[in-house]
């Protein structure tokens, strides 16, 4: 079984399920009626017959990166599908910003909507989603009625029988929220300083995402509920049909795909027609037979550096070791070009250029950087790697995992996808597991 990235654990076999019915938390003094969530035009008496919409929001531990957050979205989507069986819910997409890898200076990279990176109509073909700005407009004010901070159990996990459980418990860590003079909770809230929380409590959780559903359905009547530290939830069914439906719905924004396609055509002699990588804009109509995609005449490489150099020393190669492997693959595959996606510092990039003169990278102009942002550049890198004749990535990197999935959707032979670099002193270089797409 392939190692999953930090926070990307696979659900263990479910043997026991216990959900404790909790008393609703004490309500804080609500804001003025005109500003309370739910007091929009749609909730006036003329629309009283319409079913009430409840809003699910979530956030993730601040240090987590772009690609782990994409995985958490899949977990929350499963929870929303469970909630929709009982009530009318919509998922509010957490704005992007302030991520570790987004280090380009002089560019505003907070409060970014999902439409910067993903196609919202595609997401909505799977579950109902809205941007945070739309939530503010619909709900009538910047208030979130109930915040649940998800945490583990103070006593830890006891070996033996795996038990899914959830309990309201005292907060283990210091809350990242503080009360203002009006008794509202202030916090990061994705950079929206005007947002306030009305109630905050902690839930110790051990289990898959949908274990939270009974709490949201039975123990709170709040119209807007936020789950903070949502990475503590596991997948309901990792690798199953529901997982893949949500993953397939996460179609990259059209302008980023076009930028990647133009680069492929111009610098890598790669087109969808020649590469047999035709793409359907409606993901629900796209079902490709495994092994039918050929890919462009280039090798795709993801070479993770920075924190991985010291965080995963045993399975990350030196630059010289990586170049040796790349040259070996180019010779084996009879390819002349290699596209490299890497977070290497400038000195390492210059060394790579000397060691590997045939290397091609997407190096944006200032205008492109300002337009696409660091997150968009990562998407373009992934899109180009996803269309390569052969791909090799970095061990336990969620960036590489997402490329695996993209290539699986496009219909590549698994042998050309699930490959990784090995560390120089690594004795057992286990390759990534093939997670077969399920329709």
Alpha carbon 271 to chain centroid distance? 27
Q: Answer yes or no: 64 catalytic.
A: yes
How far is 43 from 314, CA to CA, in rounded Å?
58
How far is 24 from 40, CA to CA, in rounded Å?
25
Cα torsion at 277, 281, 282, 288 (round to 10°)? 0
Q: Cα dist. 345→159, 306, 352, 404 in Å?
A: 42, 7, 11, 25
Structure-block tokens of residue 398? 């969620």
**Is residue 91 within 8 Å of 111, Cβ to Cβ?**
no
Q: Which listed residue (64, 145, 406, 408) is catalytic?
A: 64
3-state secondary structure 236-299: CCCCCHHHHHHHHHCCECHHHHHHHHHHHHHHHCCCHHHHCCCCCCCHHHCCCCCCCCCCEEEE
**Is residue 224 within 8 Å of 198, Cβ to Cβ?**
no
How far is 110 from 206, CA to CA, in rounded Å?
31
**Is residue 231 within 8 Å of 189, Cβ to Cβ?**
no
Structure-block tokens of residue 296? 């462009």
Question: Coil, strand or helix: which one is 389?
Answer: strand
Any idea which residues carry the catalytic annotation? Answer: 64
């Amino acid at each position: 079984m392939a190692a999953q990235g930090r926070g990307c654990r696979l659900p263990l076999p479910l043997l026991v399920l216990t959900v404790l019915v909790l008393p609703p938390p004490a309500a804080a003094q609500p804001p003025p009626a005109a500003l309370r969530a739910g007091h929009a035009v749609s909730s006036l008496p003329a629309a009283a017959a319409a079913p009430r919409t409840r809003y699910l929001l979530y956030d993730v531990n601040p240090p987590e990166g772009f690609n782990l957050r994409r995985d958490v979205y899949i977990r929350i989507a499963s929870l929303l599908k469970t909630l929709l069986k009982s009530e009318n819910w919509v998922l509010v997409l957490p704005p992007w910003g302030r991520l570790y890898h987004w280090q380009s200076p002089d560019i505003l990279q907070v409060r970014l909507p999902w439409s910067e990176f993903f196609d919202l109509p595609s997401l909505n073909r799977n579950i109902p989603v809205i941007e945070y700005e739309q939530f503010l407009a619909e709900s009538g004010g910047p208030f979130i009625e109930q915040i649940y901070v998800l945490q583990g159990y103070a006593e830890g996990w006891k070996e033996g029988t795996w038990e899914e459980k959830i309990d309201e418990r005292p907060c283990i860590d210091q809350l990242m929220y503080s009360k203002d003079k009006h008794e509202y909770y202030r916090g990061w809230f994705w950079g929206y300083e005007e947002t306030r929380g009305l109630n905050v409590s902690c839930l110790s959780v051990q289990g898959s995402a949908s274990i939270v559903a009974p709490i949201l359905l039975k123990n709170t009547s709040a119209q807007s509920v936020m789950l903070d530290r949502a990475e503590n939830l596991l997948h309901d069914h990792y690798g199953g049909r529901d997982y893949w439906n949500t993953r397939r719905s996460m179609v990259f924004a059209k302008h980023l795909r076009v930028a990647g396609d133009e680069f492929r055509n111009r610098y890598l002699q790669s087109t969808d027609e020649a590469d047999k990588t035709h793409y359907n804009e409606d993901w629900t109509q796209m079902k490709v037979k495994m092994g039918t995609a050929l890919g462009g005449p280039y090798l795709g490489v993801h070479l993770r550096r920075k924190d991985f150099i010291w965080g995963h020393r045993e399975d990350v190669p030196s630059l010289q070791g990586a170049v040796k492997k790349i040259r070996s693959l180019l010779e084996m595959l009879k390819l002349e070009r290699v596209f490299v996606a890497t977070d290497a510092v400038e000195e390492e990039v210059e060394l790579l250029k000397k060691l590997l003169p045939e290397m091609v990278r997407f190096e944006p102009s200032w205008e492109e950087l300002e337009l696409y942002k660091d997150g968009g550049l990562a998407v373009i890198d992934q899109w180009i790697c996803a269309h390569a004749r052969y791909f090799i990535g970095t061990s336990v990197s969620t960036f590489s995992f997402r490329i695996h999935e993209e290539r699986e959707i496009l219909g590549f032979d698994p042998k050309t996808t699930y490959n990784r670099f090995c560390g120089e002193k690594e004795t057992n270089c286990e390759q990534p597991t093939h997670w077969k797409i399920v329709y």
